[in-house]
Amino acid sequence: MLIYKILRASEWAALRAQGRTTGAPVDIADGFVHFSTAAQLPGTLAKHFAGEDHLTLLACEAQALGGDLRWEPSRGGDLFPHLYRPLDMTDIRWTREITRGTDGHETGPLE
């Protein structure tokens, strides 16, 4: 199962330069890297990235993250994937730019 992380341009540039990240400021404050499932992604974009451009979508295989990935209740009691270690470039299966269309953010097809 793929899970997804959204990064702003500066966060994505830092990850590429350093090869790993502890995430965005909210991730650092919470002590884990926030991810979303495909079903949760539209709500995450609307709540945390409304009106923002220059976003990158990262896809990771949940099973490959092993025991450092925990499924915990969050928005609406839904279980969200949280990674309790830095995210490494080697964890990423694919990336793509998130564009904005007339109906909001567009991520392209998700698996």
Name the residue ranges covered by the structural domains of the chain: 2-106
The answer on pLDDT for 26 being more than 90 is yes
Whole-model pTM? 0.95
Q: Which fold has domain 2-106?
A: ADP-ribosylation fold (3.20.170)
Q: Which of 49, 34, 48, 47 is nearest to 3 (CA)?
A: 34
Distance CA 13, CA 7 (A): 9
Query: Taking residues 69-85, what's their average pLDDT?
Result: 95
Distance CA 17, CA 41 (A): 26
Q: Which pLDDT value is given to residue 91? A: 98
